[in-house]
Amino acid sequence: MPKKFHKRPDSLGGIIVLCVVIIITAAGLMVLLKQEPEPGKKTAPESVQIQTKAETVIDFNTIQENQELKALMQQRKAQYGVEKGVDIIAKSNESFKIGDITVSMKEILDKIRLKSGDIIEKDLKSKGADEKNKPGTFGIYIVQPGDNIWNIHFNFMKDYFAHKGATLSPFADEPVDGRRSSGVAKLLKFSENTVNIYNLKEHKLDTDLNLIFPLTKLVVYNMDQIFALLDLIEYEHVNNIQFDGETLWVSAN
């Protein structure tokens, strides 16, 4: 009688499958154990990347070629009625580049505040912070060969009054009747106290207003401050201006 053969189960294949399952399970447990923090140990919060707005940099070197930048400067100058009196009008939260030097208005303003004895407040959580940090507007004139502080101010005034429909005579700053200071001269004298000279290369304020080197120094005008005063003055009453060295006012006659 022939022998019957029974097919044996493939025990080797079953063992291999079982080993694979054990290895995968062990690897999963190790990953979970690594992710779980140790008892009493705090996990560091995930870092959050906040995208900040890039600071605006006004490149004076490219104003003529950059039509968008040129239009922006023309628009800002037109707002104040100045054309040649300043080269750049920048906000307090902007920077500008002249030659290969870039400087931020914040850097200049911090130095001006320290010079005047004001405290620089940096607490953005304080009440009214939004108002305190509201961008101001500043005119920047780049000193050229042959400039002096008096002529810089005179050209600024000439620009302003031309916008208001009045033509300043080249002799408007000369004494009246050969003895009394003219109203324009008093305005110019007052403006010396309202502007700052910034040394571009040394990154510091200059205390000597008469010592100006071309292309290395800037005259900084606080446009909001100056025009708050100038807009109160009618040209026909300019010679009624009085100045005592500190305060400027317009007399009745």
Please return the burial class of 218, using the count of CB atoms within 10 Å of its CB with bins 0-12, 13-18 and 19+: buried
Residue 8 lies in a domain: no
Mean pLDDT of the 87-100 span: 94
Say if 155 falls within a structural domain. Answer: yes
Local confidence band at 10 (pLDDT 50, 70, 90 cut-offs): low
d(CA 55, CA 23): 55
In the three-class reduction of DSSP (H, G, I as helix; E, B as strand; rest coil), residue 117 is classed as: coil
Query: Does a structural domain hold residue 217?
Result: yes
Q: Total structural domains in the chain?
A: 1
Q: At residue 180, what are phi and psi to the nearest 5 degrees? A: -90, 140
Closest to 90 measured CA to CA, from 134, 51, 135: 135
Query: How far, in Å, CA of 244 to CA of 1, rounded?
Result: 139
Q: Which residue carries 């063992």 as its tokens? A: 15
Strands 248-250, 241-243: pairing is antiparallel
**Spatial distance between the Cα atoms of 71 and 64, rounded to a whole number of angstroms:** 10
Which of 61-75, 111-125, 179-193 is the least confident region? 111-125
105-132 per-position pLDDT tens digit: 999 999 998 887 765 555 444 444 454 5
| Nearest-angstrom CA–CA distance, 110 and 88 | 19
Q: Which residue has the tokens 């207003």?
A: 209
pLDDT of residue 184: 80
Q: How many residues can be counted in the chain?
A: 253
Q: Which of 77-91, 103-117, 124-138, 181-195 has the lowest mean pLDDT?
A: 124-138
For residue 37, pLDDT over 60 is answered with no
142-151, 164-173, 203-212: which is most confident: 142-151
With cut-offs at 50, 70 and 90, classify the pLDDT of residue 53. low
Other Cβ atoms closer than 10 A to 17:
9
Q: Domain for residue 166, yes or no?
A: yes
* pLDDT at 3 (0 to 100): 47
**Contact present, 233 and 240 (Cβ < 8 Å):** no
Structure letter (DSSP) for residue 176:
B
What are the tens digits of pLDDT across the range 148-183? 888 888 888 888 888 888 887 777 778 777 677 887
Q: Is the pLDDT reported for residue 60 higher than 60? A: yes
In a domain, 63, yes or no: yes
Q: Coil, strand, or helix at residue 244?
A: coil
| Domain around 111 | 57-250
pLDDT, tens digit, for every residue of 11-22?
A: 555 555 455 445
